[in-house]
């Protein structure tokens, strides 16, 4: 018997190809797949969550935390807490009179004595305003815009549909692609980017509803863009953010929001100039140093 | 965002160092294959026979290697896993692993002055690690060592 030994021929068992090109193709395909799954399930989850009645939403909120203010850690012992809360509610009543709030919906406005520059709407019709935000409002018109914006979120059922959509999409993505490993990492990034895109659209819609309410209340929209101008100033030295930041932001760019307000006003023939109203005494604070 | 940057850095490190290691390894494999080419290693179950063959002593010879994937290969194969298809990034890795195991087996046979290795077989075992992987390839066979007459 004869035996022959030959050197293996190179290239039979190994495919020669450009690995970077292959990586790009597969990454793009994966991102498209994950994004599609995310948006489909965010939409379905949000739609399903919106079909939960407002009264059920309130019950869920009560069963979870009972007293909402306690749950959010609101300190009611601060100076003039009750007066400030009452003044906020007074403004809320006037703003809501100019909004189409469903009969079944009950909005509760809360005042939080904290430096945080924020206001938000959450489940059960609860809207929170922080002292840090109110004390930087130049006039009532600006605060009314923020209030109308948060109430618009409640009217659109954004808190519950955001929660329902976000949770559904995250559960589906982690069930399908896992939470660890490469696909897990990519689906986590998709959730973050997709979630940001989803909330950006909610913000734009809430802005639109809010500016309509502000026009009805004051007869003009002057000063309504004050918050966004303030946010823009806080954000930096007026530099345009990079594409990545614009893509990952949960809120639309402030400059675009100011622009959108002016465009809406122009389209509807609303006045963009007019007298702004001073903030009620209870909502005036000692001047604070701008940071 | 931070996650994304970390992934990109790891991919680049995996690609550059993986490629360098692969090139170096393949060069060394080809050189040693040429050196040990005179020693036949065959898959046949039957030892050579004939009038002027043997007698031989038989000895089990083994050669094994543990080889790890780089981040780039693991990442890309993870993506291919979603869609299916040939996992080409692992082809070169496994090719090198098998050839290295065979070379080590031949080296052990050569060390005992064997003339043949027959009934050669491969066995593999994965060493599972989170997010990465390593594989062991074992080559073994029966070495035939000429007995002094």
pLDDT over 90 at B139, yes or no: yes
Give the class (CATH, top level) of B2-146: alpha beta
Scanning A175-214 for CB atoms below 8 A from B yields 177, 180-183, 185, 188-189
Residue A80 belongs to domain spanning: 67-159+192-283
pLDDT over 60 at A238, yes or no: no
Radius of gyration of the CA atoms of chain A, in A? 25
pLDDT over 70 at A1, yes or no: no
Specify whether the CB–CB gap between B50 and A1 falls below 8 A: yes
Listed range (A11-15, A202-206, B68-72, B140-144) with the worst mean pLDDT: A11-15
Query: A7 contacts in B (CB within 8 Å)?
Result: 30, 33-34, 37
In angstroms, rounded to a whole number, what is the distance separating the alpha carbons of residues A155 and A135?
26
Query: A23 contacts in B (CB within 8 Å)?
Result: 11, 72, 75-76, 79
pLDDT band at A248 (very low <50, low <70, confident <90, very high): low
pLDDT over 80 at A111, yes or no: yes
Q: Where are the domains of chain B?
A: 2-146
Compare CB distances from B50 to A1, A13, A29 and report the shortest one's residue. A1
pLDDT band at B140 (very low <50, low <70, confident <90, very high): very high
In angstroms, rounded to a whole number, what is the distance separating the alpha carbons of residues A110 and A92?
10
A130, β-bridge pairs: A112
User: How far does the CA of residue A30 sit from the closest CA of chain B (Å)?
Assistant: 7
Q: What is the mean pLDDT of residues A265-285?
A: 85
pLDDT band at A241 (very low <50, low <70, confident <90, very high): low
Mean pLDDT in chain B? 88
Q: What percent of chain A has pLDDT over 90?
A: 12
pLDDT band at A237 (very low <50, low <70, confident <90, very high): very low
Query: What is the total count of domains within chain A?
Result: 1
Confidence (pLDDT) at B100: 95
Q: Please indicate if any CB of chain B lies within 8 Å of the CB of A22.
A: yes
pLDDT band at A235 (very low <50, low <70, confident <90, very high): low
Query: Over the stretch B83-112, which tens digit does the pLDDT of each residue have?
Result: 888 889 899 999 999 999 999 999 999 999
Q: Where are the alpha helices (DSSP H) in B36-141?
A: 71-83, 88-111
DSSP states of A160-185: HHHHHHHHHHHHHHHHHH-SSHHHHH
**More confident of the two residues A109 and A178:** A109
Asked if B40 and A3 come within 8 Å (Cβ–Cβ), the reply is yes
Give the best residue of A23, A34, A242 to mutate against chain B (max B CB count within 10 A): A23
User: How far does the CA of residue B55 sit from the closest CA of chain A (Å)?
Assistant: 15
pLDDT band at B63 (very low <50, low <70, confident <90, very high): very high
Confidence (pLDDT) at A249: 67
Separation of CA A206 from chain center: 10
Asked if B1 and A23 come within 8 Å (Cβ–Cβ), the reply is no
In angstroms, rounded to a whole number, what is the distance separating the alpha carbons of residues A50 and A168?
13
Mean pLDDT in chain A? 82
B60, β-bridge pairs: B142
Asked if B131 and A244 come within 8 Å (Cβ–Cβ), the reply is no
Assess whether the previous peptide bond of B55 is cis (omega < 30° from 0).
Answer: yes
Q: Look at residue A1 and tell me if it is in a domain.
A: no
pLDDT over 60 at A164, yes or no: yes
Confidence (pLDDT) at B149: 54
Residue A194 structure tokens: 């997709």
In angstroms, rounded to a whole number, what is the distance separating the alpha carbons of residues A119 and A230?
14
What 3-state class would DSSP assign to A252?
coil
Specify whether the CB–CB gap between A141 and A226 falls below 8 A: yes
Compare CB distances from B76 to A4, A14, A22 and report the shortest one's residue. A22
Separation of CA A264 from chain center: 20
Number of residues in chain B: 149
| Count helices and strands in chain B by DSSP H and E runs | 3, 3
User: Does the predicted interface ipTM exceed a cut of 0.85?
Assistant: no
What is the torsion angle, in degrees rounded to the nearest 10, for the CA atoms of residue A141, residue A146, residue A151 and residue A154?
A: 160
Nearest Cα to Cα of residue A145 among A85, A92, A107: A92
Query: A183 contacts in B (CB within 8 Å)?
Result: 78-79, 81-82
Query: B78 contacts in A (CB within 8 Å)?
Result: 181-183
Q: What is the mean pLDDT of residues A60-86?
A: 79
Listed range (A239-243, B71-75, B138-142) with the worst mean pLDDT: A239-243
Query: A188 contacts in B (CB within 8 Å)?
Result: 3
pLDDT over 70 at A290, yes or no: no
- Is this prediction's pTM over 0.80? no
Q: Tell me which DSSP letter residue A223 carries.
A: T
């Amino acid at each position: 018997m004869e035996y022959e030994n030959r050197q293996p021929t190179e290239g039979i068992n190994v495919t020669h190809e450009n690995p970077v090109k292959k990586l790009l193709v597969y990454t793009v395909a994966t991102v498209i797949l994950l994004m599609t799954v995310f948006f489909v399930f965010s939409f379905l989850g949000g739609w399903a969550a919106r079909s939960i009645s407002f009264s059920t939403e309130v019950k869920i909120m009560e069963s979870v935390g009972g007293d909402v203010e306690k749950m959010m850690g609101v300190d009611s012992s601060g100076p003039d807490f009750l007066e400030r809360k009452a003044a906020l509610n007074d403004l809320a009543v006037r703003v809501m009179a100019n909004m189409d709030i469903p009969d079944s919906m009950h909005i509760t406005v809360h005042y939080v004595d904290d430096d945080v520059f924020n206001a938000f709407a959450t489940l059960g019709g609860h809207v929170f305003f922080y002292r840090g935000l109110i004390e930087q409002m130049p006039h009532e018109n600006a605060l009314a815009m923020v209030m109308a914006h948060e109430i618009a979120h409640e009217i659109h059922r954004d808190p519950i549909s955001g929660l329902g959509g976000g949770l559904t999409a995250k559960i589906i993505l982690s069930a399908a692609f896992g939470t660890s490993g490469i696909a897990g990492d990519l689906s986590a990034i998709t959730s973050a980017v997709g979630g940001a895109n989803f909330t950006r659209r909610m913000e734009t819609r809430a802005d639109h509803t809010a500016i309509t309410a502000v026009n009805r209340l004051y007869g003009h929209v002057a000063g309504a863009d004050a918050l966004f101008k303030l946010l823009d100033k806080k954000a930096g030295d007026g530099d345009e953010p990079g594409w990545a930041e614009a893509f990952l932001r949960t809120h639309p760019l402030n400059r675009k929001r100011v622009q959108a307000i002016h465009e809406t006003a122009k389209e509807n023939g609303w006045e963009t100039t007019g007298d702004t109203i001073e903030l009620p005494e209870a909502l005036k604070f000692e001047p604070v140093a701008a940071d | 965002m931070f996650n994304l940057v970390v992934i990109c850095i790891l991919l680049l490190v995996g690609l550059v160092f993986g490629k360098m290691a692969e090139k170096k390894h393949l060069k060394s494999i080809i050189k040693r294959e040429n050196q040990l080419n005179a020693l036949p290693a065959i898959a046949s179950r039957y030892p050579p026979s004939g009038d002027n063959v043997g007698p031989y002593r038989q000895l089990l010879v083994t050669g094994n290697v543990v080889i790890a994937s780089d981040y780039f290969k693991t990442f890309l194969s993870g993506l291919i896993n979603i869609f299916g298809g040939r996992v080409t990034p692992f082809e070169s890795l496994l090719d090198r692993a098998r050839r290295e195991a065979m070379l080590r087996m031949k080296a052990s046979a050569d060390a005992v002055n064997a003339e043949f290795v027959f009934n050669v077989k491969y066995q593999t075992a994965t060493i599972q690690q989170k997010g990465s992987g390593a594989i062991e390839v074992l080559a073994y066979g029966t070495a035939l060592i000429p007995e002094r007459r």
